[in-house]
Amino acid sequence: MKKGIALLITVLFVMAITVAIGVGLRQVKEASWHMENENFMLQASTVLDDVLNILQSSKELEQLAQNKSSAELFTFLSSVSFIPLESSGLKMDIKISSARSNFNVNSLVDADNIINTDRVNILNEYLSKYKVNIGYVDILLDVMRGDENITYNRAIFDEKPYLFRDYVASEKHLNEVDDFYMKTYHNNNLKRIDFANLFYFSKNKNIAIDLNYATMEVWKMMLGCDKKKATQLASGYGGYSSLEDLSLNGEEKLALAKFQTSYFEPYLDVVIDITQNYKNAKIRFEYDIQTKKGSNFVYEI
């Protein structure tokens, strides 16, 4: 009887040790996993710092800022548009392009929350070609106008009460708007629109579109033209210095005048994709060549 009890106690003791070891190993594994993640995040931060330092110390960019030359900007962007790097198992892809190729959707309203009806009408006309209801732009305007005294047109904040409502801050923020619209109107036509090459997101509403780098989708929206004309204008990459270079008709010139445009905007859109084993990070920011400062940082890890 005593031997049976002793054996039972021994078995229970071994089981307890086994469980304890199992829990301990799991904790070690979790700690190791957290350490790996922290190390990866540290490496991503270091990569960002290195890229910023390279941009800030670039003599080519410094000269470009002094000369304010669209030709030099074109040469720079053509030579550094895509840079693949790899070091100690860490893979990096750096993409640099103009940060003024898209339309800042937040410029549908001004700093005083007054709607720019010309731009709203032009955007609605563009969206109507994809059979998107005008209610979509109303929802966008709601999200941009965070003043509590404004009566909202839509119920998006009833469904999403914590949704940021001062301006459209990012692609993910826009996705929240898109999701609400598609559920409300039972309309999935938004999926047909190339928003990645149409909208830019910045709280600074005083942003010009650099016509040397405007995308085909932006040209289609601004002028209301067909894909052929928009493709032709977008292919003029880096070759415009005046309105005459665009070969627009009178109606197209009037439409273009509704937007803030330029032929030289010294701002870079920098995207860093970092991969190590199963971990990925994407860092995107805007770099001002003249002030040597980065802004609008977006991290996806």
Which residue's entry shows tokens 């990012």? 170
Kind plus residue range of the DSSP H or E element containing 4: helix 2-56
Helix, strand, or coil here: 227?
helix
Q: Residue 193: its pLDDT value, please?
A: 94
Q: What's the mean per-residue pLDDT of the chain?
A: 84
Other Cβ atoms less than 10 A from the Cβ of 25: the count is 10
- Give the pLDDT confidence of 216-244 residue by residue, as tens digits: 999 999 999 999 999 999 998 888 999 99
pTM: 0.82
**Does one domain contain both 93 and 13?**
yes
Q: Are 268 and 96 in contact (CB under 8 A)?
A: yes
The amino acid at residue 36 is E
49 pLDDT tier (thresholds 50, 70, 90) = confident
DSSP at 109: B
| Residue 221 resides in a domain | no
Q: Residue 214: its pLDDT value, please?
A: 96
Query: Is the predicted pLDDT of residue 3 greater than 80, yes or no?
Result: no
| Residue 234 resides in a domain | no
| Residue 212 resides in a domain | no
| Residue 124 resides in a domain | yes
Range of the domain at 53: 2-99+266-300
Which residue's entry shows tokens 């880096």? 238
Least confident of 44-48, 68-72, 145-149, 258-262: 145-149
**Does one domain contain both 95 and 127?**
no
Query: Is the predicted pLDDT of residue 79 greater than 90, yes or no?
Result: no
Give the residue among 201, 135, 136 at the shortest CA–CA distance from 167: 201
Distance, first Cα to last Cα, the chain: 61
Could you give the CA distance from residue 132 to residue 129 in angstroms, rounded to a whole number?
7
Total domain count, the chain: 2
The amino acid at residue 300 is E
